Amino acid sequence: MDVGTAAHAGALWVGLHIFLLLALSLLVVRQRRLHGVALGDGDVAVLTRAIRAFGNATEYVPAGMAAIVMLAVVGAPPAAVHITGGVMFVGRVVHALSISRSSAASLARAIGVMMTWLAYVFAGVALLFYAIG
């Protein structure tokens, strides 16, 4: 396999995930400034949702980025890196948009979670394949 091509694919998806985290962080800062809340959520629902959107992403994205990097390192096909990165990224964006709009359960939020888990399972199986094989 061409590790260079897989590494470039990994760089794309890790870079996009970093910008997603930055965007979600900036949304929290924006809400804090709008509502004059320096710490916590100040019982402001929109700030609570922004904090959770960012927090949830910070809970899931690092492991996904590690998987993307490891797939590139072991020389997985670039398609495997793109599948993991793309499914993970779309899932995280869908989840963040959903949770930012409403704290209630929603189909979009569930789809975002399922896509994230699907990327995790795909990457996990692929990494085990490379570890054993």
User: How far is Cα 50 from Cα 29, in angstroms, rounded to an integer?
Assistant: 9
Contact 128, 80 (CB under 8 A): no
Tens digit of each residue's pLDDT (9 = 90 or more) over 107-117: 999 999 999 99
Rg (C-alpha) for the chain, rounded Å, is 16
Tens digit of each residue's pLDDT (9 = 90 or more) over 61-94: 999 999 999 999 999 999 999 999 999 999 999 9
User: How far is Cα 28 from Cα 41, in angstroms, rounded to an integer?
Assistant: 10
For the segment 41-56, the average pLDDT, to the nearest whole number, is: 97
CATH topology of domain 3-132: Four Helix Bundle (Hemerythrin (Met), subunit A) (1.20.120)
Q: Which of 58, 32, 26 minimizes the C-alpha distance to 46? A: 32
Contact 45, 99 (CB under 8 A): no
Contact 16, 96 (CB under 8 A): no
User: How far is Cα 23 from Cα 96, in angstroms, rounded to an integer?
Assistant: 10
Please state the domain extents for the chain: 3-132
